[in-house]
Amino acid sequence: MADTPVSEIAGIVEQARESFASRKTLDVAFRKKQLQACIRMVSENEDKLKEALKADLGATEFWASVVELDTVKVELKEMINHIDEWTKPESKSTPLLNLPAKSFIQYQPFGVVLSISPWNYPVSLCLVPLMTAIAAGNVVVAKPSEISVHTSRLLAELVPQYIDNGVVKFVLGGVEVSQALLKHRFDFLHYTGGTQVGKIVYKAAAEYLTPVLLELGGKSPTFVTSKANIKKACQRIAWGKWTMNMGQTCISPDYVLVHKDVEKEFLDTMKQTIIDFYGDPKTSTDISRMISQRHLERVAQMLQDPTMEIVVGGDVDAEDKYISPTLACASQNSRCMQEEIFGPILPVISVSSTEEAINFVLAGEKPLSLYVFSEDSKEVNQVLTNTSSGGACVNDTVMHCGNPELPFGGVGESGIGAYHGREGFKTFSHKRSVLQKFGDDVPIRFPPYTKSKLGWLNFIRGLPLESIVGGMKYSALIGLLAVAVYLGKRYVRIEM
C-alpha cells in the first residue's frame, strides 16, 4: 500500500467524525464483534504477519508468535470476556442530604481517537491500544510507524478486511503525515514512542485541550544486590534484554547497578548465560536484528566509547543489521548512559550499597520500568519505597507488562496515563459522574436557613459517608433522616 497523501487527511478525519456521530459504536455487541474480528484476523494471517515481522526486525519465532501475536489475542479475549461488566454504570455511595437518589459513573467514549504506534512491536503496540479504544466505543484514526514498513502496510491492508471500515481508518506515511494529523482536532491522542516526539504530540494536544495517553520510555534500571540469586538474575535479565527484541523494547533492562561484592560473580554468570541461551548469537534462532541501518549505527557508535570496557560481545555486522549481545562495564559518564540505549548493549555499573544505587537512579528521570533482584524483602521494599517508575518487577524483568490486570504506563518523562485490561478501557473512556434524584427533598434543604436548619445541615454533612451508607437501603436512610427532622422539631424547635 502507498503512503497516504497529506491532502486526504482532512477527509479521513471528517469521515471518522461522521462515523462516530452515527452512534453505532455505542452498541456493546457491535464492539464485541470488532474485537472478535481482530482475533480472527491475527489467527488467519499468522504466517503473513510473521513474515512481515521477520522482514522488519528479523523477528524470531518465539518473539513473533508468543510476544507479538499471542499478546494481541490474550488482551482482546480479556476485553471480550469483561466488556459487558466494564460498560455497566459503576455504582457509588450517595450522601444523606442527596437522598432519595442514586450515584454512579457512566463510562462514555471520547469520540475520535488518534493512535500513533511504534516500530519495535509493530503488531501488538498498534492493535492493542487501537482495539482498546474501540472496546470503549471510540472511532480510531491509526498511524503505524513508517520504519516497520512491511508490518505497517500489511496491517493497513488486513484491518479493513475484518473490522468495520467506519471505526478504524489507517493512515500511512512519515513525519509529514504525522505533522498533518496533529494539526487536526481529535477527542483523544495516544502515542507510543520516544520522549522527544512525545513532547511534540503533547504540545499538539494542548492546542485543543485534548486528553492523552503517552507511553514513552527512558533508562529502566536493574538493581542486583548482594542478596540476589545471581543465576536467576542473569537468566531473567538476559531474557528481558536480548531475547525480547535485542533491547529494542521500551521496558528493556537498560543498565545494571550491581553490588561490588557480587560484581565478578554477576559478570561471569552473565557471560555463561549468553552462551547457554544463544551459543553463537549470530546464528541463533532466538536473536532478532536491529530495525534499520540508522539505528544500528547509533548503537554501534556507543561501542567505541573508551570509558566502557566490553566484557563479551561488541560484534557488528552492518549488512545483516546485527549487533551481538554485549555486556560491558561502564560508568555514569559513559556515552551509553546519556540516553536510552534501545539496543543490545547492557552496561554494568558497580555500587557499594543499595542506597548508592537508589541515589544513582533518583539523579535521573523517572523510568518506564524498574527491576530489583534481591532475596531480602526489606531490601526490596527499600528500593520500591524510595524510587519512582511507571512499573516494576521484583526478581524478574518485563513480565509485569504481560499481566492485563496491571495498568501499563509511565510517570514523568516516561509517560502519561496507562492501559491494558480494564485500566485501558477506563483510559479510553470519559468517566461521567451522574446523580439521579427520586421523590421529594428533605425539608431542611431549601431556604430560608434558620440557625436550627444550619445546625442540622452541618451535623448531617459531617457524618462519615461510609458509616451512614454501609449496606443500608435508601428507605432506611430516609427513615433515619425523617426521625432526625422529627426530633429536631420536637426538642430543638426547628423553625421550618
pLDDT in tens, 325-365: 999 999 999 999 999 999 999 999 999 999 999 999 999 99
Q: Is 375 a residue of the active site?
A: no
- The residue written with cell numbers 482495539 in the block is 131
Write down the pLDDT at residue 492: 43
CA distance 62 to 58: 12
CA distance 10 to 73: 32
Write down the pLDDT at residue 481: 58
Phi, psi of 490 (to 5 degrees): -75, -40
Question: pTM score, two decimals?
Answer: 0.91
Write down the pLDDT at residue 445: 87
Distances in Å between the alpha carbon of 430 and those of 203, 469, 481? 21, 27, 34
Question: Of 38, 126, 234, 250, which one is the catalytic site residue?
Answer: 250
- Enclosing H/E stretch for 358: helix 354-362
For residues 218, 224, 225, 228, the Cα torsion angle rounded to the nearest 10 degrees is 140
Task: Name the E strands within 352-459.
Answer: 369-373, 391-394, 408-409, 415-416, 418-419, 429-437
Write down the pLDDT at residue 460: 84
- Enclosing H/E stretch for 277: helix 263-278
Q: Is 38 a residue of the active site?
A: no
Question: Of 78, 215, 263, 423, which one is the catalytic site residue?
Answer: 215
Which stretches of the chain score pLDDT less than 70? 465-496
Write down the pLDDT at residue 482: 56
Give rounded-to-5 percent helix, strand, coil for the chain.
50, 15, 35
